[in-house]
Amino acid sequence: MDRRTFLKAGAGVAAIGATGGLSSPALSQGANARTLRFVPQANLANFDPIWGTQYVVRNAAVLVWDTLYGFDERLEPKRQMVEGEEVSQDGKTWTFKLREGLRFHDGEPVRARDVVASINRWMPRDPMGQLLRAINVELSAVDDRTFRWVLSAPFPKMMMALGKNATPMCFIMPERIARTDSFTQINEYVGSGPMRFVRNEWVPGARAVFQKFDQYVPRNEPASWLAGGKRMLVDRVEWVVMPDPATASAALQNGEIDWWENPITDLVPVLRRNRNIMVDIADPLGNIGSFRMNHLHPPFNNVKVRQAVMTALKQEDYMRALVGDDASLWKTLGGFFTPGTPLYTEEGGDMMKAGNLERGRQLLRESGYNNEPVICIVAQDQPITKAFGDVTADLLKRLGMNVDFVATDWGTVGQRRAMKNPPNQGGWSMFHTWHAGADAINPVVYNAVRANGDGAWFGWPNIPAVEAEVPNWLAATSLEQERAAIGRLNRAAVENVVYCPTGFFVGYQAWRRNVSGIVKGPIPFAWGVSKS
């Protein structure tokens, strides 16, 4: 019996009887209706949305911490914690005023000095933050509700920087927490958002709990993604970690959970046969799969080795391993940006679509590769990375590389990929991840395509030809000029192999029919969701 048949059979059988997967006490009907049980994409192994960039951490963080601005469903930044802003005539001084009634979960008001400290912690870790840091003259609190940012040059995309949903987001924390070094994890989780984190119920690997914050004051506008009024219609959100898809499928069908973030494609037909289950595409903007290499150490510090992998890699293999044979759910890419968006281009992208193993072997021989081990860290508890990892292990072996496959969990990948040690000293050579389409729309919100060395995302590529096009895009005054800059950037990113996209794909989400208010988007937005 193959993997797909086994999963389908297992999910169907488990749904008939009790799963035995949850051991929480029985709740009254009223209490049950006020508790939303959610299966996230992975375990919440750490909880610092500035220190790292894992989506699972970001998705929990949007419940706990608020932001100054927030992207709506049109990918436009709207005011969130900010009541208003003024920009000087020369575009170099921004003055912001916070809206009234903002409070942290410890009861303290949100003050301008908290915002200043939070921005200062965020800037070193974020691509847009780094651009702002380079032109920062003074960021200071004027009074409790007002802060001013003086720059040495105009930055017209300020609201995008402070409101984007790409990781790391600029979350606002109390000053005492935000003073923690950007490269050190926080250990206190006091937020400013619509829910508070119930730390004494957090069991990494099992569950995380969030409780409605009654003092949160939502905006008056309708909610739209991270913008508008974040109104919690349930009192409690319980994240239940279920790395086994068949177990999660059975629990959803039995009513033990209410919402599953990312059911695998193999199980969607099983779920659709259950009249109590709704299944839909989670986000039409989809995702870009990623084979991420460490540019600091052998063998991938050699551009020709990276080119060998990109040339040999066949995106179709990755997509079929993850999504299956339904070609409407995936496509191959010749570029790094989200297909269907204004900046998507395949300029210079022929190598990305080559899928030529023999040519890859030739490039590997020409590179002088000396059989160095390739430390592949692959999370087994995340369906996306597990599927990709199996394909990569086979690809690299056929290419002629010495593969050291490290099967681990997603939390460990998040910790280890931040290390710059040589691979044989606890470091790594490559890992898999994915980038939400909403995060890959332009080069300043898309951290994975940046190539500014130590300031770049994990792998730390240093490619001046890529970075040269970022200010060109920022300075563009027309879509034609923007596209020209992105075309040159795409060509340089392919030639130097910033990373290897493994294809574009959309995924599903599933929920019980008695749950309403679930929307499509890159984040599972819990506000506006209710149970009957």
If we measure between CA atoms, which residue out of 244, 165, 246 comes closest to residue 439? 165
Model confidence pLDDT, tens digit, residues 178-228? 999 999 999 999 999 999 999 999 999 999 999 999 999 999 999 999 999
- So what's the pLDDT on residue 24? 45
- So what's the pLDDT on residue 33? 81
| 189-459-171 Cα angle (round to 5) | 25
**With contact defined as beta carbons under 8 Å apart, do 189 and 199 qualify?**
yes
- So what's the pLDDT on residue 19? 42
d(CA 421, CA 480) in angstroms, rounded, equals: 42
d(CA 236, CA 195) in angstroms, rounded, equals: 8
Question: Which backbone phi and psi does 311 adopt, to 5 degrees?
Answer: -65, -40
d(CA 372, CA 33) in angstroms, rounded, equals: 56
d(CA 139, CA 95) in angstroms, rounded, equals: 10
- So what's the pLDDT on residue 31? 74
Strand partners for 78:
70
d(CA 18, CA 31) in angstroms, rounded, equals: 22
- So what's the pLDDT on residue 32? 84
CA distances, 333 to each of 46, 313, 486 (Å): 32, 12, 15
If we measure between CA atoms, which residue out of 369, 395, 238, 239 comes closest to residue 311? 395
With a cut of 70, which residues of the chain have pLDDT below it?
Answer: 1-30
d(CA 11, CA 32) in angstroms, rounded, equals: 24
- So what's the pLDDT on residue 14? 47
User: Cβ-count burial of 137 within 10 angstroms (0-12 exposed, 13-18 middle, 19+ buried)?
Assistant: exposed
Query: Domains of the chain (ranges plus CATH)?
Result: 3-18+29-49+194-284+508-531 (3.40.190.10), 64-178 (3.90.76.10), 288-505 (3.10.105.10)
